[in-house]
A and B are shown apart, each in its own frame.
Chain A
């Protein structure tokens, strides 16, 4: 909230003008009351979102309030994705893209959590109240609801910043890994546990043993390419397994993936 916001009526007028095209109800809610004031003293910085300036006719909800869209900001492309029946099927995609944001889908008055079937009533609509699973993005939810702050014009910028950052922490793309996806689904992946799947372990043993004998860079690169293929195949299977909802199998595939990644690390270390 490092904005120096003018609180003149004229500013408000232009803000309304620019935002009406975007038809954001939230903005109108904002505008219907007193002026927006910021407690911050920092001047505008060029890289930050710009204030709606009379000369800028963005026509959408650009301007000041684009700062209020933390969840969208995490998704660099911001294009709407098709709604998956199981939102988590794009688990593998999340590793490369930033956030699995399925376009807000009005499922009717009572929305349910995809993981635990719990009702999602009000709130920010971002997390399920019972299992804390991240819900598909609902674009109709206004910014005040997302942050859970009361609708007023005097928005404490410090508090807003804090909430923004804590939301960012919870919704960070790096958390969208396979293991945490399993965690979201309610399967406890025992981090410290030992496994004794003889087939997988034998395979890994053999791979590591063959690695021991190799020291030539070209050979290592070949092995690395082979391993990369293995990783790709495992990821594909993992995607399918998640989509099919077979989470017990998913656990074993995730373990396999972990081992293949370790093999890759070892090769890199040798190179």
Chain B
């Protein structure tokens, strides 16, 4: 695995003057670097928008905070998503990947996204597996928040209707 990474890293230009391959141990995987340098979907939606679910999770062990937001249409499909993460490169990449993966999928389907999928996609080392876990939790928290909002809205609207009828 390390050899694979080393080869890929060296293909991105880590060669000295003699053309010898300098293999870097413990380098970030190129996908992680890519997400870190060009993160997709950074931003914020309006929290109070009824179609927006906000997942806010943290890992006190490393001091990371991750916010993942989803915009859901009436049929329960996620039409847009964005994130804001304070943490290491792996955490940022994990949340970036998460926002990419949830776009265009039904809400209940994204609950099946596992941290192991994210970790595999980014080739995260074992020590960074908790970053992918954080991303999975963020997705779940966002969906949960949206559902709670919807339930509250439905509850209050049915109260209004009851009042109107009375």
Task: Give the B-binding residues of A (Cβ under 8 A).
Answer: 191-198, 200-202, 204-205, 208-209, 254-255, 258-259, 261-263, 265
Name the distance in Å between B70's Cβ and chain A's nearest Cβ: 16
CA distance A261 to B61 in the complex (A): 11
A205-B56 in contact (CB<8A): yes
Task: Give the A-binding residues of B (Cβ under 8 A).
Answer: 56-63, 65, 67, 84, 86, 130, 133-134, 137, 141
CA distance A119 to B108 in the complex (A): 54
CA distance A119 to B105 in the complex (A): 60
B57-A192 in contact (CB<8A): no
A191-B84 in contact (CB<8A): no
B86-A205 in contact (CB<8A): yes
- Closest A residue to B63 by beta carbon equals A262
B63-A196 in contact (CB<8A): no
B67-A194 in contact (CB<8A): no
Q: Top 5 A-B pairs ranked by shortest CB distance?
A: A262-B63, A255-B60, A258-B60, A208-B86, A194-B137
Given A196-B56, A208-B86: A265 touches B63 (CB 8 Å cut-off) = yes
Given A205-B84, A205-B86: A194 touches B57 (CB 8 Å cut-off) = yes
Given A208-B65, A258-B63, A262-B63: A192 touches B58 (CB 8 Å cut-off) = no
Which residues of chain B are within 8 angstroms of A205 by Cβ–Cβ distance?
56, 65, 67, 84, 86
Which residues of chain B are within 8 angstroms of A195 by Cβ–Cβ distance?
57-60
Complex partner residue of B133 from A194, A202, A204, CB under 8 angstroms: A194
B60-A259 in contact (CB<8A): yes
CA distance A208 to B64 in the complex (A): 10
Name the distance in Å between B143's Cβ and chain A's nearest Cβ: 13
- Closest A residue to B55 by beta carbon equals A196
CA distance A196 to B63 in the complex (A): 13
B56-A201 in contact (CB<8A): yes
A/B interface sample: 7 pairs, CB < 8 A:
A192-B130, A194-B137, A195-B59, A198-B56, A201-B57, A201-B58, A205-B67
CA distance A194 to B133 in the complex (A): 8
Which residues of chain A are within 8 angstroms of B67 by Cβ–Cβ distance?
205
Which residues of chain A are within 8 angstroms of B57 by Cβ–Cβ distance?
194-196, 201
Which residues of chain A are within 8 angstroms of B56 by Cβ–Cβ distance?
196, 198, 201-202, 205
Other A-B pairs beyond A193-B59, A194-B133, A258-B61, 12, CB < 8 Å: A192-B61, A192-B133, A193-B60, A194-B58, A194-B130, A194-B134, A196-B56, A196-B57, A255-B60, A259-B60, A259-B65, A261-B63
- Closest B residue to A258 by beta carbon equals B60
B63-A192 in contact (CB<8A): no
Which residues of chain A are within 8 angstroms of B60 by Cβ–Cβ distance?
193, 195, 254-255, 258-259
- Closest A residue to B135 by beta carbon equals A194
- Closest A residue to B67 by beta carbon equals A205
Which residues of chain A are within 8 angstroms of B63 by Cβ–Cβ distance?
258-259, 261-263, 265
Complex partner residue of A200 from B58, B61, B134, B141, CB under 8 angstroms: B58
- Closest B residue to A252 by beta carbon equals B60
B86-A192 in contact (CB<8A): no
B61-A191 in contact (CB<8A): yes
CA distance A263 to B63 in the complex (A): 8
Name the distance in Å between B48's Cβ and chain A's nearest Cβ: 14
Name the distance in Å between A204's Cβ and chain B's nearest Cβ: 5
Which residues of chain A are within 8 angstroms of B137 by Cβ–Cβ distance?
194, 196
Name the distance in Å between B58's Cβ and chain A's nearest Cβ: 5
Q: Which of B60, B62, B86, B137 has the most CB of A within 10 A?
A: B60
Which residues of chain A are within 8 angstroms of B65 by Cβ–Cβ distance?
201, 204-205, 208, 259
Which residues of chain B are within 8 angstroms of A261 by Cβ–Cβ distance?
63
CA distance A224 to B65 in the complex (A): 19
Name the distance in Å between A84's Cβ and chain B's nearest Cβ: 27
- Closest A residue to B56 by beta carbon equals A201
